[in-house]
Structure 1
């Protein structure tokens, strides 16, 4: 009974490719331009220019018709593939070594951020999906966390665009202000690396922030940031369970519970385990990481192109205020826990 579907698979794939390629090509073109901009201005990375260019095009003329299948493919499936490839940056050894030292800071900042996002976002009457995206983006790892969570909570393109832009704004402020703060507090390079790795979000911004403080701060900050990426897994699974419970009218079966774990998070773990076994050579690892970064740019270009700009205007400045409050809370919590654990100096 499986003969017919298997026999027709090549034809179905060809039809799917025919539908997808026009929009995909547009997203890839935007990602190439965005990546060049990110190379010239490293603090920007490729993600932010991609979504800004996409939104700019949508402002002039929102794509439709033949382009939309490829744009949707880019903004959903390719985004999930990018999350899978992020696992190539991690190894079990680095997870255990750095995780033990940074775990108190990571868990404290994450708990404070998510609770504040819920309470303050609710008080400001910000739409639940948007405050969730800003919360996980600030508390975990910026665009990567937003990429992982958005399909689980079925966030709209406008919400994703607003969240990514909000997180980026405070990443730029961190690059400018954190080194000054570190010197004012006489922080050691190791302590500053812990602060940068837990209170700055996207990898490019972590690198930019910590590199100003020195090579020792940079090397530790990047590893802390990558370990912090693992928080995507429990948060996404929890949100999937909450979403399923909210939408289900009755109890879930064991099979339904198993399906709560998104496939791309399983893939993320599998790639991290393979990398831990030494199967992935340094050259291949670098290639996979660069591919992941590029796919995120492609996906965010698609999100930008499909953004409802009117919805962004309706959201107003309250989400930006929420992002500012969360950024300050995460920074203060990180500094407090580092000080309490004797690691400030």
Structure 2
């Protein structure tokens, strides 16, 4: 594998053409979200990512734009029902994960800030929560990198196995969407897994997950008090507001509905490309920097929320 990587590294022009070609392929219906993630991971190992810095910057914006676009395919009344049902579920799961995260961090003697970032990412919305909380707790670059690497790795696994588990357990579209929104860390993987399962699952998962993401605000305030960094600025996920506007436009303005299918198709293509870029950032070199204890913490919290929420849903 190293020889293959060295071969492409010595031919940067071909490396870039191959990477861009696969990225364009991910914009077509030929590639699903799980396949895009695997393609990105393979390209990172075999060829390398010639646009690593650019990709990291693009992922955040592309995901937000794609999520807003998905709002044009949703109905306000259905979304309110899903959000109402998932509110208490989300609150209880967030408090549970943060509590166990604190306990496990102490038991495994993990750095306090690293453990807190992993717990926050697992409890709310993966990379977005980590990015919002990191400046507040004054996290160092290596602490942020470890937390992001762990969360994105487990996200990737969830995206691949959740649809399989849901099918094996004969979960309904609604139940699967709710499970995804609660148990998968990052919005990109939640939407990707739900889109693979079905349109109703996608609507439930996206609505509940974005409602869950709003918990970044109270968690940020809590973090300011706990870490006593009162000069820190709280980041508000404004793109959720644009998602709500898109949903309202699609529900109450019939002329918008003529364009909605096209916008949703483009949004899904953007999401697939996002997952390709995320996969391309998951090299073995990055994963080796994580260490065993933070990984154990992340896995335990993920299993706790995944199995616990599934048992509540199917009971």
Q: TM-score, normalised by structure 2?
A: 0.67
| Aligned partner (choices 85, 99, 115) of residue 83 of structure 2 | 99
Pair 1:33 & 2:22 matched: yes
Pair 1:315 & 2:290 matched: yes
Alignment gaps of 5+ in structure 1: 1-22, 212-217
Pair 1:286 & 2:278 matched: no
Q: Residue 53 and residue 132 in structure 1: after superposition, are their counterparts in 2 closer, same or farther (change >3 A)?
A: farther
Question: Displacement, 1:287?
Answer: 1.1
> 1:115 corresponds to which residue?
99
> 2:6 corresponds to which residue?
none
1:238-253 equivalence runs, <5 A: 238-239=219-220, 242=223, 246=227, 248=229, 251-252=230-231
Q: Residue 152 and residue 113 in structure 1: after superposition, are their counterparts in 2 closer, same or farther (change >3 A)?
A: closer
Count of aligned residue pairs for this structure pair: 279
> 1:267 corresponds to which residue?
239
Q: Is the 8 A contact 2:194 2:201 kept in 1?
A: yes
1:1-345 equivalence runs, <5 A: 30=19, 32-33=21-22, 36=25, 42=32, 44-51=34-41, 53-54=43-44, 71-76=52-57, 78-85=58-65, 86-90=67-71, 92-128=76-112, 130-132=114-116, 134-140=118-124, 145-147=126-128, 149-150=130-131, 153=134, 156-157=144-145, 159-180=147-168, 182=169, 190-200=174-184, 202=189, 203-208=191-196, 211=197, 218-230=198-210, 231-235=212-216, 238-239=219-220, 242=223, 246=227, 248=229, 251-252=230-231, 257=233, 260-262=234-236, 265-278=237-250, 279=256, 281-282=259-260, 283-295=262-274, 297-298=276-277, 301=280, 303-304=281-282, 309=285, 312-338=287-313, 344=315
Q: Is the 8 A contact 1:194 1:220 kept in 2?
A: no
Bigger radius of gyration among the two = 1
Q: TM-score, normalised by structure 1?
A: 0.62
Q: Residue 335 and residue 157 in structure 1: after superposition, are their counterparts in 2 closer, same or farther (change >3 A)?
A: closer
Q: Residue 228 and residue 245 in structure 1: after superposition, are their counterparts in 2 closer, same or farther (change >3 A)?
A: same
Rounded Cα–Cα distance in structure 2 between residues aligned with 1:294 and 1:331: 26
Q: CA RMSD in A?
A: 4.2
Q: Deviations over 1:13-52 (max 9, x none)?
A: xxxxxxxxxx9x9789536526758977746242454255
Rounded Cα–Cα distance in structure 2 between residues aligned with 1:41 and 1:87: 21
Rounded Cα–Cα distance in structure 2 between residues aligned with 1:40 and 1:108: 39
Q: Is the 8 A contact 2:26 2:273 kept in 1?
A: no
Q: Is the 8 A contact 1:197 1:222 kept in 2?
A: no
Rounded Cα–Cα distance in structure 2 between residues aligned with 1:34 and 1:119: 41
Q: Is the 8 A contact 2:101 2:115 kept in 1?
A: yes
Q: Residue 157 and residue 335 in structure 1: after superposition, are their counterparts in 2 closer, same or farther (change >3 A)?
A: closer
Rounded Cα–Cα distance in structure 2 between residues aligned with 1:31 and 1:131: 36
